[in-house]
Structure 1
Amino acid sequence: MRSIDVDPLAEALAPPQNESPEQRHHRVLKERAAKKASDEIDDQLSRERQQAKRQPKPVKILLLGQSESGKSTTLKNFQLMCEPKAFRAERASWRAIVQLNVIRSVRIILDALTASSSAADSPSPRASSSSRDSHSLRLDADLLALRMRLFPLLEVHDTVMRRLASPSDDLPPASPSPSSFRTPALSTIFRRRTGKEVTVNSNVPWKTAFMRDGSERESFATQDVVDWEDPTDPGMVLHERAEDLRRLWAHPTVHAALEHQGIRLQESGGFFLDEIDVVTSQRYVPTDDHILRARLKTLGVAEHRVRLTDPNGHITREFRIFDVGGHRSLRPKWVPYFDDMNCIIFLAPISAFDQKLEEEPEMSRLADSAAIWTSIIANKLLQNTNIILFLNKIDILEAKLRSGIRFADYVASYGKRPNDFDSASRYMRKQFAAILKDSSPIPRLFYCHLTSAVNMKSTQFVLLGIKDMLMQHHLKQSGLII
């Protein structure tokens, strides 16, 4: 027969040649069982589709903003407000992130000390013209000893990073004790990239990485979930080095080196050195506030579903909250999520008025936020979408202005206005409102809130108001209320 006359599907499904009656009986039973399972799956999917048609459409919220604008922290506030039990069941997972944030801060400090020490010893013209400053940044014997004792934390950081990236992988059977970590070669340490932070893929179940097997159920207390005897747990090493960490952060040369290089650790996400006694305690469990402040950079799009009731507690709606990456390379992936979105919460970190964009060092972070805001407002796909602006990180803005940093030195259009929080925040609010008025395809309301996402009470108060507004809007669209 010609090959064109052969049906490959029929050939594949045909019974084997020389099949015995017993083999045929077993084959038929297996085929019947497989068909029954397939039919049950089809029936279940059909029931779910029918149920979804009967239920009201979910309210979709998209969190947008540049990297480190506070999107993930806002999402955590939503989760804490709507599903506190599930949120607090994840304390064990966030415990490891807080500890890694501490190690990252140590890495930044050690890199800064290395750079300052090299500059002080360098015979360059710049160093010779400022020998007084160079001498002040020389590392004394105590600081050199601290630096050497804390280098092993960097190896712990890399080990835990690998564990977070592949939480299901089997770990090596034997792990060194906290006191036996070998100090890496200085050439290896000096090649480390400054500020390397914890990054995980949103599709990786990283929250199971530091839990005991089978401990993902919400009924478990955090003390039962954490494997306190795990030799790879970063908490053991941090506890052993707690005194060294205190002395490092209290050393005046450390603060001089950070200031000399323009590094403000206190303003960055995941800063915990001011609470080093708490986070290095032997059985440390993070508080809600610690979880909100913990910094974890995620790649990809994370979808979170919560069920909320209307202001009167009668009608329940499903809210779907989408958190997308804010790095410049990830922004083209935002567009597919613009369709059928009920609300966009855009976060602009106005405290970053004096900072440059990491991806493009010549561009101001504030100017970048304004450019993103303009593109979102002007997008015709979003002209009927509620857009809410969070002028975020106002606590850091206020602290900067109080310290004497002048807003007008970085925002020329600010002119001679007073260098205080009320004036600066009012000015920024007017600037973003003007962009909306000039760029929106249709007239629309301006929803704006001054926020500090790490302030749990104030942020949840704002989110509660947004939830009620969206619920009322959604009920009107559904014809359930007038």
Structure 2
Amino acid sequence: MPPADVDPLAAAIAPPRDESPHERQSRVLRELAAKQVSDDIDDILSRERQQAKRQPKPVKILLLGQSESGKSTTLKNFQLMCEPKAFRTERASWRAIIQLNVLRSVRIILDAISLASSSPDQPSPRSSYSSRDSLRPDPDLLALRIHLYPLLELHDTLSRRLATPDSSSSSSSEDAPTPSSLRPPPLLSIFRRRAGGKELAVNSNVAWKTAFMRDGSNRDSFSTDDVVDWDDAEDPGVLLHERADDLRKLWAHPTVHAILDRQGIRLQESGGFFLDELDVVTSQRYVPTDDHILRARLKTLGVAEHRMMLTDPNGSITREFRIFDVGGQRSLRAKWAPYFDDMNCIIFLAPISAFDQTLEEEPEVNRLADSVALWTSVVSNKLLQDTNFILFLNKIDILQAKLTSGIRFADFVASYGRRPNDMDSTTRYMRKQFVAISKDASPVPRGLYCHLTNAVDTKSTQYVLLGIKDMLMQSHLKQSGLII
């Protein structure tokens, strides 16, 4: 034990007493080299700090809203504007997601046919059919179901490949194919049961986009052939193309639509609906368009941060944007609070088309009512009193289709009363309700930017830019003392 007056740190770093001249020279050289590395790192950090001081602070945006409100589509709109090359290189993986969306729709239909043929049930409250209507599948439809069963196995294979991209046989063209029995199982949380089928949900930290991308996707000279492996023996497009005629017959069969209606299933309202475009998505060498990628549905779990440089069309804003996408399920909302600090803007998405739907996790809760309650909770939060809000009353295209089909808004929103059941009246009513909540519940007065948007509205990014441009100007004026 060293004496009390000896510095233990000095004793620990002191050179060995029996150190030879050669050893001392080597030690000194190592220490000098280590010090040089440390100094270089300090210089880099210092330059980065100085550069950060000269540049404007990044704009931090938080995307909020219930599950399936359109947050991922909004994020893809930003990526399409800011990172077009990266967006193009990801087409191969989005192609797989679209194929998975088609397969999931097929699974839902086949499950509905099986239910209708085995145990006819009472019609869903959302159905226009009475319990007296007989909707047993005919022999042709049952034969189609049997012929399309291989697509269910393809659905599960695609899901495993996306859930565990590192184990995918497509990760290297030189790797030998891994037998399905030896592949690692998907993550335990990867599937969530939904009515009529399973939905793939990937963790934000899983590099699922690499599952179907080839090495050539990183080259400066880019073409679609660089990212899609057309010779891949496991490419799901091959089987989808072979079954294209049967898929078209299935979706065109009148009994299918009657069965879905009887069970309250509306595939057209779901994210990732592509059955009306089977000719395109099942074609040989299919490559998704930007519009298809925006409509593709993939559920993500966890919190993801996306950084990008964004310039508005007039060139007046060139800033780094940091966009945080958080899960919208009720079980995940408790994790939102840590992201409320130091946010410049919150984009809140309320899918007003969901007025006749309930939450997946709590079927007794109306989705529109949940959005209203969630909006009230967020705008009244004192942690967010200095945060600007942009409100998207989203999915108005689906709302229009529902109203046109005869679904009455007042049947699900009692306070709507006897107002006309048309697009203009319902959207005006909902805008007024959300704006009033913001005015009454906000801890301090603040402006609100409110827009009607559809599920794949590429103009939504422009709305955000205009709103943020105004917000930054207001902030500068307040700092200058020109406004209070």
TM range (shorter): 0.7 to 0.9
1:50 maps to what in 2?
50
C-alpha offsets along residues 343-378 of structure 1, whole Å, 9 cap, x if unaligned?
A: 111110000000001111111000100011001110
Residue type of the partner of 1:93? S
Q: Return the match for 1:376 from 375, 378, 395.
A: 378
* Correspondence 1:469 to 2:470: yes
Tell me which of 234, 238, 247 is aligned to 2:249.
247
Change (3 A) 1:23 1:228: farther
- Report matched runs for 1:325-336 at 5 Å: 325-336=327-338
- Deviation readout 1:399-429 (Å, 9 max, x if unpaired): 1011000111101111111111111111111
- AA paired with 2:368? L
* Partner Cα separation in structure 2 for residue 92 and residue 477 of structure 1: 47
* Equivalent residue for 2:298, pick from 285, 296, 299: 296
List alignment gaps of at least 5 residues for structure 1.
Answer: 123-129, 178-190
Against the structure 1 CA distance between its residues 310 and 225, is the aligned structure 2 distance closer, same or farther, given a 3 Å change threshold? closer
Hey, what does 2:176 align to over in structure 1? Answer: 173
- Provide Cα deviations, 1:55-109, integer angstroms capped at 9, x if missing partner: 2111111111000000111111122233333323322221111111111111111
Amino acid in the other structure paired with 1:340: D
Structure 1 residues 42-441: aligned runs within 5 Å:
42-120=42-120, 133-134=133-134, 136=135, 138-169=136-167, 171=169, 173-174=176-177, 194-217=196-219, 219-309=221-311, 312-314=314-316, 316-441=318-443
SS in 2 for 1:348: strand
In the alignment, the residues of structure 1 paired with residue 139 and residue 5 of structure 2 have an alpha-carbon distance, to the nearest angstrom, of 86
The separation in 1 between residues aligned to 2:313 and 2:468, in whole angstroms, is 9
Closer, same or farther: CA 216–93 of 1 in aligned 2, 3 Å? farther
Distance 2:217 2:482 in 1: 44
Quote the residue 1:453 is aligned against.
Answer: 455
Cα separation, partners in 2 of 1:448 and 1:231, compared to 1, 3 Å: same
Q: Residues of 1 paired with 2:112 and 2:11: CA distance?
A: 69
Report the 3-state secondary structure (helix = DSSP H, G, I; strand = E; otherwise coil) of the residue aligned with 1:298: strand
Contact 1:377 1:383 in 2 (8 A): yes
Partners of 1:313 and 1:480 in 2: how far apart?
Answer: 27
CA distance in 1: counterparts of 2:329 and 2:453, whole angstroms = 21
Paired with 1:339 and 1:237, the residues of 2 have a C-alpha distance of: 49
Task: Give deviations 1:286-316, integer Å, cap 9, x for gaps.
Answer: 1111011001111111222222346752552
**How far 1:195 sits from its partner (Å)?**
2.9
Change (3 A) 1:478 1:146: farther
Residues 310, 471 of structure 1: 8 Å contact kept: no
Identity %: 74
CA distance in 1, matches of 2:11, 2:118: 74
Q: 1:24 to 1:294 in 2, by over 3 A?
A: farther
Cα distance in 2 for partners of 1:250, 1:9 equals 80
Query: What SS is found at the alignment partner of 2:197?
Result: coil
Query: What is the CA distance between 1:36 and its match in structure 2?
Result: 4.5
Cα distance in 2 for partners of 1:243, 1:474 equals 59
Q: Which amino acid aligns with 2:365?
A: M
Query: Structure 2: which amino acid aligns with 1:142?
Result: D
- Where does structure 2 lack aligned partners over 5 or more consecutive residues? 123-129, 170-174, 181-192
Aligned CA distance change for structure 1 residues 311 and 454 (closer, same or farther; 3 Å): closer
Confirm or deny: 8 A CA contact 2:390 2:464 kept in the other structure: no
Q: What SS is found at the alignment partner of 2:450? A: strand
Deviation at 1:265, TM superposition (A): 0.2
Deviates more, 1:402-411 or 1:205-214: 205-214
- Alignment: residue pair count: 458
The amino acid across from 1:405 in the alignment is I
Cα deviation, residue 462, structure 1? 2.5
Alpha-carbon distance in structure 2 between the residues aligned to 1:349 and 1:192: 19
Partner SS, residue 215 of structure 1: helix
Correspondence list, 1:13-24, <5 A: none
Tell me, in whole angstroms, the C-alpha distance in 2 between the residues paired with 1:330 and 1:76.
22
Displacement of 1:203: 1.6
| Preserved CA contact (<8 Å) 2:435 2:448 | yes
Structure 1 residues 199 and 428 mapped into 2: Cα distance closer, same or farther (>3 Å)?
same
SS at match of 1:198: strand
TM-score, reference length from structure 1? 0.85
CA distance in structure 2 between the partners assigned to 1:175 and 1:168 by the alignment: 12
Check the 8 A contact 1:175/1:231 in 2, yes or no: no
Distance 2:299 2:151 in 1: 20
Label 1:256 to 1:407 Cα distance change in 2 as closer, same or farther (>3 A): same
